[in-house]
Amino acid sequence: MTATQPSPAPEAPARRPAPSTRTVKAVRTAGGLSLRIEPRAALSALLLLAVILAVSVVLIGSGDFPIAPADVVATLLGNGTAAQEFVVQHLRMPRVLVAILVGAALGISGAVFQSVSRNPLGSPDVIGFGQGATVGALTVIVLFQGSAADVAGGAAVGGLVTGAAIYLLAWKRGVHGFRLVLIGIGVAAILTAVIHYLLTMAKLEDATRAVVWMTGSLDGRDWAEFRPLLNVCAVLIPLVLALGRPLRMLEMGDDAAYALGVRVERTRIVLMASAVVLVSVAAAAAGPITFVALSAPQLARRLTRSPGPGLGASALMGAALLLVADWTASNAFGERELPVGVVTGVVGGVYLLWLLVTERKAGRI
């Protein structure tokens, strides 16, 4: 909207009248560069970062071998005992880092899909991508009894193939949000049948393993899962963030975006492909964790109160959500450690009800 004009945004022909309390600041350098900063959004991002750091420290400290938060920080800075060093470096650190990256990947790809489909329910786990990854992983588990790495590979391939199939099926002189969502729902139904078929033909122990995988779990994640995830995220998250502004223009409709100089179809395909890859690698690392991609962008939007997809805040919110869910799953039920997916699923169901009620009042769904 304000591609060329810095602060304060003139009354663009936007739907909502610009609230008087809203301040958008612009930082300008001597070289003629300028950067728009929304104080509330920046503050929210800092807050989320603080939450992520704090919960990470608590998560690293909790378990069968408890470590006090101060000791955790000391160990991370290289001043811990050998035992603490071992537990932190080899057992708990990778799990927390995987949780952060998976949460960020889910949050940002949820924001992309919700923005492209222009619907707060158009998240990748509702419109078929999660099911694609599950089919890939279950094929490996049930038919080939593969190792954990094979299962991850199967999930990634399944997610990517499904993403390509949905895009091609929804293509008809361009991809429109409504068709993408409906085709995705149809594909999801077919894939669910395939998942059920694989579950019924499995031996009981394979079926149990498959159900655990389908729920989504962070148990026993180590550096081997972390590195490929980090590589993909390091490339794609900045790419998606860089396309945040064209994406925001796309929300105004293809014609308006085109008039403002956005290459509509190319931007959309790059964004969607990146989002699909992010969802697939996240599923490969931790299983198809539901509802993080659905809820993180909406929660982030309410926190920052900024218009547009809010990609960065969604990524931070996704990471924070998953960390809190993981802490809850491993500590809130006494001795019994639940997979993190159970917690996100239950929270997601409640969140969904709330979303349906409030968004329906506003007429946005």
Partner 1 sequence: MLVESPPQTSAEPIAAAQPSRRNSIRALGLFAAVGVLLLICVLSIMVGAKEVPLGEVWHGLFQNDGTGNDVIIRDLRVPRTLLGLLVGIALGLSGAVMQALTRNPLAEPGLLGVNAGASAAVVTAISFFGVTSITGYVWFAFLGAAVVSVAVYVLGGSRGATPVRLALAGTAATAALYGYVNAVQLLDAAALDRIRFWTVGSLATANMETVRNVTPFIVAGVVLALLICRPLNAMELGEDTARALGADLNRTRVLAMLAVTLLCGAATAACGPIVFIGLMVPYLVRAITGPDMRWILPYAAVLSPVLLLGSDVLGRVVTRPSELQVGIVTALVGGPVFIHLVRRKRMAQL
| Contact (CB, 8 A) for 225 and 152 | yes
Q: Computed over its alpha carbons, how large is the radius of gyration of the chain?
A: 21
Rounded to a whole number of angstroms, the minimum distance from the CB of residue 208 to partner 1 is 7
Considering beta carbons, is residue 103 or 339 the nearer one to partner 1? 339
Q: Footprint of partner 1 on residues 131-160 (CB under 8 A)? A: none
Return the residue of 58, 76, 121, 269 that touches partner 1, per CB under 8 A.
121
Q: Which residues of 252-274 are buried (b: 16+ CB within 10 A; e: fewer)?
A: beeeebeeeebebeebbebbbbb
Q: Does 183 bind partner 1 (CB under 8 A)?
A: yes
- For partner 1, which stretch binds (CB under 8 A), given 68-76, 188-196, 250-258, 311-319? 188-196
Q: Does 247 bind partner 1 (CB under 8 A)?
A: no
Considering beta carbons, is residue 265 or 359 the nearer one to partner 1? 359
8 torsion bin: left (phi>0), alpha (psi -120 to 50), beta (else): beta
Q: Footprint of partner 1 on residues 329-358 (CB under 8 A)? A: 338-339, 341-342, 345-346, 348-349, 352, 356-357
Return the residue of 182, 235, 242, 259 that touches partner 1, per CB under 8 A.
182
Q: Footprint of partner 1 on residues 251-270 (CB under 8 A)? A: none
Rounded to a whole number of angstroms, the minimum distance from the CB of residue 109 to partner 1 is 16
Rounded to a whole number of angstroms, the minimum distance from the CB of residue 170 to partner 1 is 8
Considering beta carbons, is residue 193 or 224 the nearer one to partner 1? 193
| Contact (CB, 8 A) for 237 and 271 | no
CB atoms within 10 A of CB 35: 10
**Hey, what's the torsion of the CAs at 85, 91, 96, 102, to 10 degrees?**
140
Residue corresponding to tokens 């975006």: 257
Nearest to 297 by CA among 284, 285, 315, 282: 315
Q: Which residues bind partner 1 (CB under 8 A)?
A: 119, 121-122, 125-127, 169, 172, 176, 178-179, 181-183, 185-190, 192-194, 196-197, 199-201, 204, 207-208, 211-212, 214-215, 290-291, 294, 338-339, 341-342, 345-346, 348-349, 352, 356-357, 360, 363, 365
